[in-house]
Chains A and B, each alone.
Chain A
Amino acid sequence: DQQVKQNSPSLSVQEGRISILNCDYTNSMFDYFLWYKKYPAEGPTFLISISSIKDKNEDGRFTVFLNKSAKHLSLHIVPSQPGDSAVYFCAASGTLQGAQKLVFGQGTRLTINP
């Protein structure tokens, strides 16, 4: 039962253009959402987050949009840079079995082409 889904396993974008990574969730109890960036053989690095009471959060080149009615969030990176090439995980936070936990999507490998 995949509660958080990233349906695109990979995405390739030209340098300087916008990268849009998508994430869908099924559990309406999730109340906070996070995006992490991960390089091979390293731990995830926190990028940006959004509370369920908001629909947009912006931090520099990164913007996260949340559409609660559609249970969908997206991460926009603009302009995309070669250093952005990595695997991006979205994560949803909620109280599951009585404890606050993160549930991760499968990840999307983003490649920025020069």
Chain B
Amino acid sequence: GAVVSQHPSRVICKSGTSVKIECRSLDFQATTMFWYRQFPKKSLMLMATSNEGSKATYEQGVEKDKFLINHASLTLSTLTVTSAHPEDSSFYICSARLGTYEQYFGPGTRLTVT
């Protein structure tokens, strides 16, 4: 149980374009999902908390107009990187919360902006 999928697993896009990443909880409903970013050999940095049916909450320093989050259903959250630049290249990971504390993570999406 507690499986989270992410799509796509890898994406290459050109600078200036937008790319959407989907995060799905496959066998449970999640009112809260999270989006993280991991830089090479670094820890996971929380970008935003995605709340079903309401606006996402962004961490300090994360541009909400650049990283658009939509959580339209209890099993799906999407992250859209708008007007991507090479510095947005990273490993993006989503998670879904089950219960009060535990988060289950998706497999991650490697974004490369050329």
Q: Is B4 an interface residue (CB 8 A)?
A: yes
- A42 contact set on B, CB distance < 8 A: 107-108
Q: Which of B11-19, B40-48, B70-78, B81-89 contacts A (4 or more CB under 8 A)?
A: B40-48
CB pair A106 B42 closer than 8 Å? yes
Q: Is A41 an interface residue (CB 8 A)?
A: yes
Interface footprint category on A: 20 to 34
CA A43 to CA B94, docked complex, whole Å: 8
CB pair B100 A100 closer than 8 Å? yes
Partner of A36, one of B49, B100, B105: B105
CB pair A41 B101 closer than 8 Å? no
CA A105 to CA B110, docked complex, whole Å: 21
**Could you give, for residues 76-114 of chain A, a 1 whenever the CB lies within 8 Å of some chain B CB and a 0 otherwise?**
000000000000010001000001111111110000000
Q: How many residues from B make CB contacts under 8 Å with A?
A: 25
Interface of A is mostly: strand
Q: With A101-B46, A106-B43 in contact, is A43–B100 under 8 Å at CB?
A: no
Interface of B is mostly: strand
CB pair A101 B49 closer than 8 Å? yes
**Could you give, for residues 86-113 of chain B, a 1 whenever the CB lies within 8 Å of some chain A CB and a 0 otherwise?**
0000010101010011111111101000
Partner of A41, one of B42, B57, B91: B91
CB pair B43 A46 closer than 8 Å? no
Q: Is A44 an interface residue (CB 8 A)?
A: yes
Q: Is B6 an interface residue (CB 8 A)?
A: yes
Q: With A34-B101, A49-B101, A101-B49 in contact, is A89–B43 under 8 Å at CB?
A: yes
Q: With A43-B6, A43-B107, A93-B101 in contact, is A102–B43 under 8 Å at CB?
A: no
Q: With A105-B43, A106-B42 in contact, is A99–B57 under 8 Å at CB?
A: yes
Residues of B in contact with A (beta carbons under 8 Å apart) = 2, 4, 6, 32, 34, 42-44, 46, 49, 57, 91, 93, 95, 97, 100-108, 110
Residues of A in contact with B (beta carbons under 8 Å apart) = 32, 34, 36, 41-46, 49, 89, 93, 99-107
